[in-house]
């Protein structure tokens, strides 16, 4: 009817209306869309002395930018006001209060009408919705009733001050309370309080007490391709450094030496088998024929000479004994064996002098002789919450990646031994291993974690870290189905690159730029918002914790010192110190954490307040 009415009066505006109606009819026929009657209204309340016209102009402009034209009603305001009450929509006038449109358009303004619900999942991580109502989600995305991800590895990005550490503290606390073993690599004491609260193991790297491990000490059953690969990466890291270039020959050579080293320890070398002698003989004959050196000898004389060479090689191998497994014994074995392997296989271009020089630093008498020769504390495998603090070596180009690699191997061993859920969280330390040399190992660890009920998470704050590194994109982000983003307003001008790398949709980006922008903070505890995407499902959640948790998570030096003062003065446990501290904080009437901590530090003792502090 409406189309025919417009068509009956031939002018440009009516013709456009006819075309619009025809387009809607085509969509309905082609895509089986629904036509629905719709009504929206907005009630605006302002103080009596406010200019109402400014409000309506602002609303008209805001809706106009979205292509929505609104009309101001003056003749049935009471009806509209009453119909806005819950359950009162039946009082709308059918003739002039409703309009006909497609169902997609009708629901586009109702995306907030659905209240977020807690998910059915055995692992519940509590956040709040944007109104402050607690909701539990499956942070892994794969253990709940609805599977959202293929793996539970995660990537977290947030600039300094965005609440990144606060959020991660909240997540790992809840994971640990639900039976998850947690291993963390930290470079800023962000998890010291939480580790102390749980009574976990907090290990700081110092020159006097370095983080040590004997990665070469394994039993016969552990000797596999994976372990050989780890040790090969370790040796190449020391030899070449994180940014070094490794040739295929060097890679194969180190793998060859490691295999022979363990064979010498587990089986000993009694001599070549007939098959090995025959293979070596054929190889030497071919090399001899290709040699530019001319020899005037008979076939018999050449055969005797080659047998002599094989006997000499065999004799040198027999002399190489491995009595114990350690870096020291591997160094001794490799510096003798590598020249022989090169000679036997006519390999050239191997810089053995550099190899010896770089490796010697970790050998007996070297600056880091303990690092790879002393066994790690075996109790770490039984600890359920372990934090490695390696801030003191973050500027060391060799030790930083090496110790990070050692810790990752500890997690891999723990991952295989323990049957419960495990998580490894690597803060800024991940940059130490984000090199071409380590790329394959990182990919391997990420993919292996999925098979052993484990997750690997990387936390970073620098946008350049993900923009400028192909290793991050290929090895870390592509293997992380869970993405967590804190406030990204600092990166807004450069966000297109992040959007591309992380595979974010336009809808995701719109959600991200509402983080911490809503007027929903009044009267709440310390509160930050975070965008979480699991697979293709995403949303913005609130991280809201009581003061007791805040004091456990805080990274503010003054606040940490004030809490330590309470613990020292009261000679009590970490939890009792927090309870006493927060009791005084609540009594003081001071809202912010830092001003109260400053009061405590100024006093230099426990306050034991009974009344509010008056300034």
Of 197-201, 204-208, 285-289, the least confident: 285-289
Same domain? For 346 and 412 the reply is: no
Residue 88 confidence class, pLDDT cut points 50, 70, 90: confident
Give the pTM. 0.77
> What pLDDT score does 3 carry?
64
Same domain? For 394 and 492 the reply is: yes
On whether residue 572 sits in a domain, the answer given is yes
Q: How far lies 331's CA from each of 341, 359, 551, in Å?
A: 15, 7, 48
Contacts of 220 (CB under 8 A, 6+ apart): 266
On whether residue 608 sits in a domain, the answer given is no
217 vs 289, higher pLDDT: 217
The total of structural domains in the chain comes to 4
Of 71-85, 124-138, 183-197, the least confident: 71-85
> What pLDDT score does 582 carry?
93
Q: How far lies 494's CA from each of 82, 156, 184, 228, in Å?
A: 47, 17, 30, 42
Mean pLDDT for the stretch of residues 86-90 = 84
Same domain? For 195 and 288 the reply is: no
> What pLDDT score does 283 carry?
81
> What pLDDT score does 294 carry?
67
Give me the domain span that covers residue 598: 556-603
On whether residue 132 sits in a domain, the answer given is yes
Report the mean per-residue pLDDT for the chain.
86
- 32-36, 256-260, 302-306 — which one is most confidently predicted on average? 256-260
Element (H, E) at 528: strand 527-534
Q: Where residue 384 sits, what CATH number does that domain have? A: 3.40.50.300
On whether residue 120 sits in a domain, the answer given is no
> What pLDDT score does 292 carry?
61
Same domain? For 166 and 314 the reply is: no
Same domain? For 494 and 468 the reply is: yes
> What pLDDT score does 532 carry?
96
Same domain? For 300 and 417 the reply is: no
Given 547, 574, 590, which residue is the final one in a domain? Answer: 547
> What pLDDT score does 1 carry?
64
User: Could you please report the per-residue DSSP string of 264-307?
Assistant: HHHT------HHHHHHHHHHHHHHHHH-SS-----HHHHHHHHH
Q: What percent of the chain clears pLDDT 90, i.e. is strictly above it?
A: 33
Given 362, 396, 414, which residue is the final one in a domain? Answer: 362
Same domain? For 426 and 499 the reply is: yes
Same domain? For 465 and 533 the reply is: yes
Same domain? For 392 and 501 the reply is: yes
d(CA 330, CA 325): 7
> What pLDDT score does 370 carry?
87
Same domain? For 232 and 196 the reply is: no
d(CA 415, CA 78): 66
On whether residue 482 sits in a domain, the answer given is yes
Phi, then psi, of 599 in degrees rounded to 5: -60, -45
On whether residue 439 sits in a domain, the answer given is yes
On whether residue 611 sits in a domain, the answer given is no
Same domain? For 24 and 46 the reply is: yes
Given 107, 138, 156, which residue is the final one in a domain? Answer: 107
Q: CB–CB of 285/306 below 8 Å?
A: yes
Residue 87 has pLDDT above 60, yes or no: yes
On whether residue 157 sits in a domain, the answer given is yes
> What pLDDT score does 562 carry?
94
Same domain? For 134 and 181 the reply is: yes
């Amino acid at each position: 009817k409406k189309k025919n009415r417009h068509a009956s009066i031939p002018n440009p505006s009516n013709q456009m209306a006819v075309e619009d109606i025809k387009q809607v009819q085509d969509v309905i026929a082609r895509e089986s869309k629904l036509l629905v009657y719709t009504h929206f209204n907005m009630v605006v309340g302002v103080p009596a002395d406010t200019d109402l016209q400014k409000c309506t102009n602002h609303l008209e402009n805001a809706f106009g930018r979205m292509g929505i034209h609104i009309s101001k009603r003056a003749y049935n305001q009471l009806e509209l006001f009453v119909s806005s009450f819950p359950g009162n929509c039946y009082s709308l006038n059918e003739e002039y209060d409703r309009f006909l449109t497609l169902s997609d358009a009708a629901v586009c303004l109702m995306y907030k009408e659905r209240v977020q619900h807690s998910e059915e999942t055995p692992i519940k991580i509590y956040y709040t919705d944007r109104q402050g109502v607690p909701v539990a989600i499956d942070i892994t995305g794969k253990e709940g009733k609805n599977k959202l991800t293929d793996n539970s590895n995660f990537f977290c990005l947030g600039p300094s001050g965005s609440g990144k550490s606060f959020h991660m503290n909240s997540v790992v606390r809840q994971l640990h309370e639900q039976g998850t073993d947690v291993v963390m690599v930290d470079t800023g004491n962000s998890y010291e309080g939480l580790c102390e609260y749980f009574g976990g193991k907090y290990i700081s790297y110092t020159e006097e007490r370095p983080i040590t491990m004997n990665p070469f000490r394994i039993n016969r059953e552990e000797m596999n391709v994976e372990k050989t690969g780890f040790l090969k990466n370790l040796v190449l890291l020391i030899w070449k450094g994180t940014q070094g270039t490794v040739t295929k020959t060097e890679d194969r050579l180190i793998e060859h030496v490691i295999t022979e080293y363990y064979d010498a320890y587990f089986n000993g070398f009694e001599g070549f088998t007939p098959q090995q002698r025959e293979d070596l003989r054929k190889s030497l004959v071919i090399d001899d024929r290709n040699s530019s050196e001319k020899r005037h000898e008979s076939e018999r004389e050449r055969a005797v000479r080659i047998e002599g060479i094989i006997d000499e090689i065999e004799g040198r191998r027999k002399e190489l004994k491995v009595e114990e497994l350690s870096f020291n014994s591997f160094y001794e074995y490799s510096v003798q064996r590598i020249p022989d392997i090169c000679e036997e296989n006519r390999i050239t271009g191997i810089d053995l002098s550099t190899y010896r020089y770089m490796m010697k630093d970790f050998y007996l008498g070297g600056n880091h002789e303990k690092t790879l020769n002393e066994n790690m504390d075996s109790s770490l495998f039984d600890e359920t919450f372990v934090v490695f603090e390696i801030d003191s070596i973050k500027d060391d180009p060799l030790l930083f990646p090496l110790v990070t690699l050692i810790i990752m191997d500890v997690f891999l061993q723990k991952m295989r031994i323990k049957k419960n859920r495990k998580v490894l969280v690597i803060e800024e330390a991940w940059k130490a291993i984000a090199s071409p040399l380590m790329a394959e190992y990182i990919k391997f660890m990420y993919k292996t974690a999925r098979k052993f009920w484990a997750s690997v998470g990387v936390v970073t704050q620098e946008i350049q870290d993900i923009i400028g590194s192909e290793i991050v994109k290929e090895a870390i982000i592509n293997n992380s189905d869970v993405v967590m983003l804190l406030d990204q307003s600092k990166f807004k001008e450069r966000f297109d690159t992040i959007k591309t790398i992380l595979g974010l949709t336009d809808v995701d980006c719109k959600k991200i730029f509402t983080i911490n922008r809503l007027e929903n903070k009044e009267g709440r505890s310390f509160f930050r918002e975070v965008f979480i995407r699991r697979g293709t499902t995403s949303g913005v959640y609130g991280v809201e914790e009581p003061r007791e948790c805040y004091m456990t998570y805080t990274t503010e030096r003054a606040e940490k010192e004030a809490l330590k003062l309470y613990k020292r003065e009261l000679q009590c446990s970490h939890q009792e110190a927090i309870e006493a501290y927060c009791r005084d904080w609540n009594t003081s009437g001071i809202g912010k954490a830092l001003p109260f901590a400053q009061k405590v530090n100024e006093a230099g003792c426990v306050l034991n307040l009974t009344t509010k502090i008056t300034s």
